[in-house]
Amino acid sequence: MCGIVGYLGSQSAAQILIKGLHQLEYRGYDSAGIVLNTGQGKGFNLFKAKGKVANLEAAIPDEVMYQDHVTVSGIGHTRWATHGEPSVANAHPHVSMSGDVVLVHNGIIENYKELKDQLMDRGYTFQSQTDTEVLCNLIDLYYQQHGHDLRMAVMQALNKAIGAYAIVVMEQQDHAHVICARKASPLVIGIGEGNEEFFIGSDATPIVSYTHKVIYLDDEQVADVRLNHEVEILNLDQTLAQVDVKEVDLDISALTKGGFPHFMIKEIFDQPNCIENCMRGRLVHLEDGSYDVKLSALQNFKAKLIRARHVIIVACGTSWHAGLIGKQLIEEMCRIRVEVEYASEFRYRNPVIEKDDVVIAISQSGETADTLAAIQLAKEQGALVFGIVNGVGSSIARAADTGIYIHVGPEIGVASTKAFTGQVTVLTLLALALGRALGTLSEEKFQRTCHELMQIPAKMGEVLKQNEAICQLSAHFTYARNFLYLGRGYNYPVALEGALKLKEISYIHAEGYPAAEMKHGPIALVDEEMPIVFLATHHELYHKIISNMQEVQSRKGRILAIVTQGDEEISHIAQEVIEVPETLQALEPLLSVLPMQLLAYHVAVMKGLNVDMPRNLAKSVTVE
């Protein structure tokens, strides 16, 4: 998804912007650009390129790149096409027809066609197919009408625009001034020492190596950022808003690959540590040997959570799969009815939400537009919103009434891995804490589950030791054009997740099914060309899964089975077997998903594909 970076100060702005754009590459993009204004009467210095930030970098001359000690404002952008193909003309920044105003924009202006017609009637012409250029010229129109008052012009234009935006706008006549605004798309302003510098980002990533003092803009707020002045924040109705400066502490070293060839494999291997971090201070081993679960998010809302008769989980993609596991955990441990909804469907239905319902929103990025909209709908109808989020300070984290961060660190690979296990861990802790408070979970089962959960990081380590073997067996599957993933109970969502991982990074078509559903249709696809991944760990439905496997065997399907350590039966049926340590059924997804992630990773690498930035995908989907 698009990324924004901005700078105001007297360091080498081009270098800061390019570095920031590189740090935002993980979001996915197809073109990039920067613009600088040194205020020397030379107009805007604009550079754009299709493709990678490296292409843009190559297009910037040294005298611009290394220009220092000059007061300059600059903005940069990585674009992920929505309106108009990826091209230099459509790349941001966009300069207004008069040449007075320039802007970058994340989001979508829904009424851009209507606005464009109105502007064309007034003689405006356009160089691109984008909604962004329309917004730029609309600001320009008011800028000319209001005696070059940029702030007023931006507010007036935004009052006419329908849609989502995070924008940063510069004017040619004042090189020490920018205006920022947001609605449903995040924007962060970093404040340098003594207001002598400002850093702007669509998230805090390009800011934290310079300053930890940041302002997160709220929806429909406009920030007036002027060198050597305090930032002023206004609401769209022109009233002054409170300026809330926060401290962020994001470890930038966590954004590097740490010796692994790709972010995705680093993040897969990070999981034992991530889960320890996620449980730290929450799953507590007491001196008497027993366990407790302490979730501060529950404290203020415990009564409401306990009273809930109905929980609705809203999420997208991998987070939705985690939600399906959450449903089973909460229903089993808390005996509360749980529905799991795609946020994109939920927001456009007329769902039944009662005042005492709890809506759990799950999101890695915390910026997914559909999930955010689902939260807003739930809040309007009086439900309590509980966020399970990775992105600290993200829009969803701030929109939720309460919630728990999964604390797995920045996830850069577009294919979500450690966020999934973090989400499942938090859902387990939540179900344990609530089940105990409700009395629906016996103390014996609570203690046993806590004890087993504590062992999960070490057991994950054991699964990861098979990486080399999984790499080798992956070589047998690169030929495949279709895959089936089958699992039951807690392993059914893992089958869905395995299929999603494979298709998004290896471009092999894959489907996940509950294993018993196979005979209701998918079995027609089975032949010697078709690999079938069975999640067949040793639990109550084990023998039923073996029957499903035999049905596939007799049709010559190629079986890869994930089994419990020491299983002897399945090795006679399956061509390939990967073992995972034994654990409680409810905790199995935390182990069985790891071979799914590794298989997808190795198949994609062997096919020579870009596993961290697969085609057509964005890390953070901030448009619907």
- Which pair of tokens denotes residue 255? 């954004």
**Binding mask of the shown chain, residues 503 to 542, with x at each position contacting ligand M6R by CB under 6 A:** -x--------------------------------------
Query: Minimal CA–CA distance to 194: which of 231, 232, 168?
Result: 231
Q: Could you tell me the smallest distance in angstroms from the CB atom of residue 319 to ligand M6R?
A: 4
How many positions of this chain bind ligand M6R (CB under 6 A)? 17
- Asked whether position 2 contacts ligand M6R by CB under 6 A, the answer is no
Of 530 and 613, the one with the shorter C-beta distance to ligand M6R is 613
List 103, 161, 166, 316, residue binding ligand M6R (CB under 6 A) = 316
Half-sphere exposure of 107 (CA within 13 A, CB side): 28
Instruction: Please choose, out of 317-325, 429-437, 519-527, 538-546, the segment that lies near ligand M6R by the rule CB under 6 A.
Output: 317-325
Does the active-site annotation cover 2?
A: yes
- Asked whether position 364 contacts ligand M6R by CB under 6 A, the answer is yes
- Asked whether position 414 contacts ligand M6R by CB under 6 A, the answer is yes
Amino acid at 87: S
Instruction: Please choose, out of 97-105, 176-184, 302-310, 357-365, the segment that lies near ligand M6R by the rule CB under 6 A.
Output: 357-365
Of 131 and 203, the one with the shorter C-beta distance to ligand M6R is 203
List 169, 562, 621, 623, residue binding ligand M6R (CB under 6 A) = 621
Instruction: Please choose, out of 324-332, 347-355, 358-366, 444-452, the segment that lies near ligand M6R by the rule CB under 6 A.
Output: 358-366
Q: Could you tell me the smallest distance in angstroms from the CB atom of residue 371 to ligand M6R?
A: 5
Of 333 and 414, the one with the shorter C-beta distance to ligand M6R is 414
Q: Could you tell me the smallest distance in angstroms from the CB atom of residue 411 to ligand M6R?
A: 8
List 13, 415, 545, 623, residue binding ligand M6R (CB under 6 A) = 415
CA distance 73 to 199: 10
Does the active-site annotation cover 619?
A: yes
Number of residues that make up the chain: 624
CA distance 313 to 315: 7
Q: Angle 141-142-148 (CA atoms, 0-180°, nearest 5)?
A: 105
Question: 146: burial class by Cβ within 10 Å (0-12, 13-18, 19+)?
Answer: middle
Residue 145: helix, strand or coil by DSSP? helix
Of 314 and 545, the one with the shorter C-beta distance to ligand M6R is 314
Instruction: Please choose, out of 239-247, 325-333, 555-563, 616-624, the segment that lies near ligand M6R by the rule CB under 6 A.
Output: 616-624
Partnered with residue 102 across adjacent β-strands are 95, 170
Of 73 and 365, the one with the shorter C-beta distance to ligand M6R is 365
Q: Could you tell me the smallest distance in angstroms from the CB atom of residue 620 to ligand M6R?
A: 6
Instruction: Please choose, out of 112-120, 137-145, 272-280, 414-422, the segment that lies near ligand M6R by the rule CB under 6 A.
Output: 414-422
Of 454 and 617, the one with the shorter C-beta distance to ligand M6R is 617
- Asked whether position 317 contacts ligand M6R by CB under 6 A, the answer is yes
Query: Minimal CA–CA distance to 200: which of 337, 304, 74?
Result: 74
List 96, 363, 491, 583, residue binding ligand M6R (CB under 6 A) = 363
CA distance 328 to 262: 33
Angstrom CA distances, 556 to 96, 479, 574, stand at 63, 16, 11
CB 187 within 8 A of CB 202: yes
- Catalytic hit among 2, 136, 274, 450: 2
CA distance 408 to 418: 7
CB 619 within 8 A of CB 602: no
DSSP 217: P
Question: 62: burial class by Cβ within 10 Å (0-12, 13-18, 19+)?
Answer: exposed
List 402, 416, 592, 597, residue binding ligand M6R (CB under 6 A) = 416
Q: Could you tell me the smallest distance in angstroms from the CB atom of residue 223 to ligand M6R?
A: 25
List 368, 421, 553, 597, residue binding ligand M6R (CB under 6 A) = 368
Question: 340: burial class by Cβ within 10 Å (0-12, 13-18, 19+)?
Answer: buried
Q: Could you tell me the smallest distance in angstroms from the CB atom of residue 502 to ligand M6R?
A: 11
CB 269 within 8 A of CB 463: no
Of 230 and 345, the one with the shorter C-beta distance to ligand M6R is 345
- Catalytic hit among 48, 327, 459, 619: 619
Of 567 and 612, the one with the shorter C-beta distance to ligand M6R is 612
Q: Could you tell me the smallest distance in angstroms from the CB atom of residue 414 to ligand M6R?
A: 5
Of 366 and 557, the one with the shorter C-beta distance to ligand M6R is 366
CA distance 321 to 336: 19
Q: Could you tell me the smallest distance in angstroms from the CB atom of residue 262 to ligand M6R?
A: 14
List 319, 449, 474, 597, residue binding ligand M6R (CB under 6 A) = 319
List 78, 318, 395, 564, residue binding ligand M6R (CB under 6 A) = 318
Of 23 and 318, the one with the shorter C-beta distance to ligand M6R is 318
CA distance 255 to 301: 34
Which residue is at the shortest CB distance from ligand M6R?
317
Q: Could you tell me the smallest distance in angstroms from the CB atom of residue 41 to ligand M6R?
A: 44
CB 584 within 8 A of CB 452: yes
List 38, 365, 537, 548, residue binding ligand M6R (CB under 6 A) = 365
Q: Could you tell me the smallest distance in angstroms from the CB atom of residue 146 to ligand M6R?
A: 39
CB 401 within 8 A of CB 301: yes
- Which pair of tokens denotes residue 294? 């302490």
Question: 349: burial class by Cβ within 10 Å (0-12, 13-18, 19+)?
Answer: exposed
Q: Could you tell me the smallest distance in angstroms from the CB atom of residue 494 to ligand M6R?
A: 14
Helix (H) or strand (E) holding 150: helix 150-160
Of 158 and 404, the one with the shorter C-beta distance to ligand M6R is 404
Of 17 and 316, the one with the shorter C-beta distance to ligand M6R is 316
Partnered with residue 215 across adjacent β-strands are 189
As a dihedral over the C-alpha atoms of residue 271, residue 274, residue 278, residue 281, rounded to 10 degrees, the angle is 130
CA distance 102 to 170: 5
**Binding mask of the shown chain, residues 370 to 389, with x at each position contacting ligand M6R by CB under 6 A:** -x------------------
Q: Could you tell me the smallest distance in angstroms from the CB atom of residue 543 to ligand M6R?
A: 32
DSSP letters spanning 417-477: -HHHHHHHHHHHHHHHHHHHHHT-S-HHHHHHHHHHHHHHHHHHHHHHTTHHHHHHHHGGG
- The set of catalytic residues is 2, 619
Give contact residues for ligand M6R (rule: CB under 6 A): 316-319, 363-365, 368, 371, 414-416, 500, 504, 617, 620-621
